[in-house]
A and B are shown apart, each in its own frame.
Chain A
Amino acid sequence: MTEQTALTRTNGHTANDVMTTMPAVQPNVDIFENEQELIVDCDLPGVAQDTLSVHLDGTQLTLEGERAAYEGWSVAARYRRTFTVPEHLIDADGVEAELRGGVLRVRLPKRDDARPRKITVRSVD
């Protein structure tokens, strides 16, 4: 999937047609990693929890949110960003997301068998 298709795509889970056909803004992200997990931090100002969706479908991680129009002036905005995650890396059931002060943090724990392992060398005499 390319970003072009994503721009014109309509998604089934919102009722508002104007919203879903509106070009999506790509929010900025930071990505951190350690041996246990990946963290994706994403700027989503004005997005309330009920319009937010974090979706992991196979190898596609999609972050999506909508911001209502500011009182009296600005148009609403739709944020959307998709990443490709390598197969067999993430434990999909363990994915957690929290929204704080307009920043979404998604934690993607690595599967046990994808974590680096220390191999103990036995000495054989």
Chain B
Amino acid sequence: MKKIVCFLSLALVLSACGDKKEKKDGAGAMTGTIQIDGSSTVFPITEAVAEEFRSEQPDVKVTIGVSGTGGGFNKFSRGETNLSNASRPIKDKEIAICKENNINYIELEVAYDGLAVLVNPENTWVDSFTVEELKKIWEPSAQGTIMKWNQIRPEWPNEEIHLYGPGVASGTYDYFTEAVVGKSGSSRGDFTASEDDHVLVQGIAGDKFSLGFFGLAYYEENKDKLTLIGVNNGAEVVKPSLQSVKNGTYTPLSRPLFIYVNSTSVKSPEVVEFVNYYIDNAGELATDVGYIPLPADLYAKQKESFKTFVENNK
């Protein structure tokens, strides 16, 4: 007990020291509030950036909502938020509302998101999937009915199909269901669902008749135990890779992620500071939370265009 108390007080002292130091280091401490809303997919990156930013500028309050990309743009186009997280580009209808309300904005790409569809290395029959086939397997009505491989393609074996996927609390699950089934958060329920991607790796790696999906990052770590399956994007069969995710040929299971900043907000120095900090650190933090960073020159380009945008709106 004495030990624990000792430890706690030591921790307190240390953390107190830390705070002071950071405040001293922060060249020109800023204050203010930055309002962000939008996509839950982009949220982890923005949250990670905001957390890191807090140690640089502890007095700037960053609030991040998760209304979804559409909900975020709704508020953004009325000038209620400074930044909007988006997992798709802004729609024409939303652009029109922005114009009506005199909101000028800049679109900044921050990372890519890619999803891997995987089977066991002993699976010799699958070479690719079409999106329709994936939908047939995963949609809610498949529950209890699509149970065997040969129900998907007749030439595939008459064996039970064992499905593995992220749990409902996972953003990957939302994303996959949105891209494949058409509605976020809508899927069958009779599969091995785990928020722990290692469980999924273990399950697919040990089961000949398995099929699963999760973020590309986990495939990269377990290449030797899993077989990556290409997905037909309508024109050709493409396997996800840093390359195919970056050049946009791996659709619909990859997409760029954006943040949008409006012109009135960049008059506040803390927003400019935050966005610059975001672009500088997005690559590293995106990788940490399981996304794919843009090429370095693209980040430089984003920074450049943001700089021009700030100067034009001073």
> Do A and B come together as binding partners?
no
Residues of A within 8 A of B (CB): none
Interface residues of B, Cβ cutoff 8 Å to A: none
